[in-house]
Amino acid sequence: MKYKIGDVARILGISADLIRYYEEKGVVSPEKDPENHYRYFDTRDINRLIDCLWYKNYGFGIERIAHMVTEYTYPRLLESIEDKASELRDSIRRQELLLQRVEKFRERLAETRSYVGRCELRSNKPFYYYINRSLGEYDVRSETLDLSRKWLGYMPFTRRYFEVTEGSLTRGENEYVWGFSVGEQYVAEFGIDVTPPVAEMPSALCVHSAFKSAARDRFSARKLDFLLEFATKNGYEPARGAFGNLACSVLEDGGQTGYFEVWLPVREVTKRT
């Protein structure tokens, strides 16, 4: 029995345009009526289109599928299926990591707001970071821009990172820098290059807290004075400058407000005898 293109489209639930595409690629070869120029497809053509749908549902693109059903030898088809299996495993792994990441992000959002202005002693997990902005000025050297573009591709596994110098905390200055950070597990997972200018932040005892900064009063090192006050009150002093990450930016009180998680590495004050 012969079928018009509209009949084939209805039988298979695909568009006539897709059938025409596969005709152009030589997947199907309908008979053409010389009088009315209608194309008539037989069951063999429909079976070839079903082959195409079979591979499409594995995730192959239509152009590649056309080659698969018309040109591929047995070994080449096997190789192609093995490649697809590897691709799917990588995709599943990334989806697993994204699920873990979004769940962790949800937990962090739930915690960060409750930590605003509240301090505790806690050790940070080690991570890697680099700096690409000092105050409001970006580093536009080609090597830094290349690194930034590469790390932007790792989002959302990277985080917006900042540092406030120890001098800003202890001498009333307002020096801070921005960049990106990433946890150790993702360095291994994605094979991230951690050679300079990327640096490592080891685990250390810290004063841990959170703060917020509205657009109207801007980010400032002075917002971290409460960390130094807590450290001093409890017999500690800064071991280096503070660092942290932007947790989120939300609309609050009619303006954009950033919530930040912050860590201040400390050491016990040595008592003089």
- Output the CA–CA distances (angstroms, integers) from residue 56 to 49, 52, 64, in the order listed: 10, 6, 9
Tokens of 254: 């009619």
16-24 and 62-70 are packed helices; what angle lies between their axes, rounded to 10 degrees?
Answer: 50
Q: What is the pLDDT of residue 262?
A: 96
146: three-class secondary structure by DSSP = helix
DSSP code of residue 250: E
Evaluate whether 183 touches 131 at the Cβ level (below 8 Å).
no
CATH superfamily of 116-268: Regulatory factor, effector binding domain (3.20.80.10)
For each successive 10 residues of the chain (273 residues), what is the average pLDDT? 92 96 94 85 95 96 95 96 96 96 93 90 96 86 90 95 87 84 94 94 96 77 89 93 93 87 93 58
Token look-up 């301090």 returns 119
Other C-beta atoms lying within 10 Å of the C-beta of residue 242: 25
What is 3-71's CATH topology? Multidrug-efflux Transporter Regulator; Chain: A; Domain 2 (1.10.1660)
DSSP H helices in the chain:
5-12, 16-24, 43-56, 62-70, 74-115, 142-152, 166-170, 184-190, 225-233
Q: 3-71 and 116-268: same fold?
A: no
Bridge partners for 248 per DSSP: 259
Element (H, E) at 3: strand 3-4
Other C-beta atoms lying within 10 Å of the C-beta of residue 130: 19
**Greatest CA separation found in the chain?**
111
Q: What is the pLDDT of residue 239?
A: 92
CA–CA dist 14, 26 (Å, integer)? 18
Q: What is the pLDDT of residue 272?
A: 57
Domain boundaries, the chain: 3-71, 116-268
Q: What is the pLDDT of residue 140?
A: 87
